[in-house]
Structure 1
Amino acid sequence: MTRVEELTVGELAARSGVPASALRFYERQGLIHSRRTTGNQRRYSGGTLRRVAFIRASQSVGLPLSAIGEVLALVPADHTPTREFWVRASACWSEQLNERIERMERTRDRFTECVGCGCLSFERCALVDPGGLVT
């Protein structure tokens, strides 16, 4: 297979399955980088595919782009994230993901209790008024 040196935004979109509008957004956010041709067209290195894959995989587990961007900022723009990079990023996010799982489990349990009760009371329901603001 021939190594692709550079991709247009359309080619990157087709190869990654990510809409061109999202790729341009990622670029505005500093998550991916391109160079401009003399005709002002974007050209992405072949390694950008791996960065996009990293972004999409991270988003699929619920990580916000801000957190993804913080980690990608540690990788120079002209470098491709490696497996070792992914392992380090995953370790950094494990605690955050575990906390999110615990919150979701608590929410599920509250929802189950609420469905069983059926009250949907502003005074008593932890789902309707989770912060206890209504008195």
Structure 2
Amino acid sequence: MRNLDIAEVAQRSGVPASALRFYEEKGLIASIGRRGLRRLFDPGVLERLALIALGRAAGFSLDEIALMFAPDGRPRIDRQMLVAKAEELDKTIRELSAMRDGLRHAAACRAPSHMECPTFRRLLGATASGTLGARKKRAPQPPRNKTNRG
């Protein structure tokens, strides 16, 4: 397959050219040259962009995704990082399920006022205390040494 210019990569991947330039700036992808003013990419960039999209969909930051590639560009995925993200997603699913169930209950509740409904009051209390729904940003993680990567 021939090399692809940035417009072709954007069209085939669905990633805007501005994001491709940003990913290149962050070191997530690399162009292999230029055709006039347009960057050229190896066709393998499409698979790499798919991996980046998968990582983003799973909730990984671009910095975390960058750690998942070896210097030669091949995927090098830390399995412990995947387990931690899966556990984080499990927690989010539990929180969102509780929120959904509470909202459904509130919508169907026969109490004269939501404030008189014990279930709604529990949902309100959990939200106020930060145990439900409030998304806290993760603290930055220190760089891992090479022995901790899988």
> Residues 99 and 36 from structure 1, CA distance in 2 versus in 1: closer, same or farther, beyond 3 angstroms?
same
Aligned partner (choices 7, 16, 19) of residue 19 of structure 1: 16
Amino acid at match of 1:26: Y
What's the counterpart of residue 101 of structure 1? 89
Percent identity for Structure 1 against Structure 2 = 29
Give the superposition deviation at 1:114.
Answer: 4.9
- Distance of 1:114 and 1:38 partners within structure 2: 56
Determine the C-alpha separation between the residues in 2 that align with 1:19 and 1:26: 11
Q: Distance in 2 between matches of 1:114 and 1:15?
A: 42
Structure 1 residue aligned with 2:108: none
Instruction: Give the match for residue 148 of structure 2.
Output: none
Distance 1:105 1:126 in 2: 16
Show the counterpart of 1:125.
Answer: 125
List aligned pairs for 1:70-85, cutoff 5 A: 70-72=67-69, 74-77=70-73, 81=74, 85=75
Aligned partners of 1:56, 1:22: CA distance in 2, in Å? 12
In structure 2, the CA distance between the partners of 1:70 and 1:90, relative to structure 1 (3 Å rule), is: closer
1:53 is matched with 50
TM-superposed CA distance for 1:50, in Å, is 1.5
Query: Structure 2: which 5+ runs fail to align?
Result: 106-118, 132-150
Using the TM superposition, give the Cα deviation of residue 69 of structure 1 relative to its aligned residue in structure 2, in angstroms. 0.8
Given the superposition, is the C-alpha separation of residues 112 and 16 from structure 1 closer, same or farther in structure 2, using an over 3 Å criterion?
closer
Query: With structure 1 as the length reference, what TM-score do the two structures score?
Result: 0.69
Question: Scaled by the length of structure 2, what TM-score is found?
Answer: 0.63
Find the aligned partners of 1:61 and 1:67 in 2 and give their Cα distance: 11
Structure 1 portions without partners, runs of 5+: none
> For 1:112 and 1:17, how far apart are their aligned partners in 2?
32
Task: Give 1 or 2 for the bigger CA radius of gyration.
Answer: 2
RMSD: 2.7
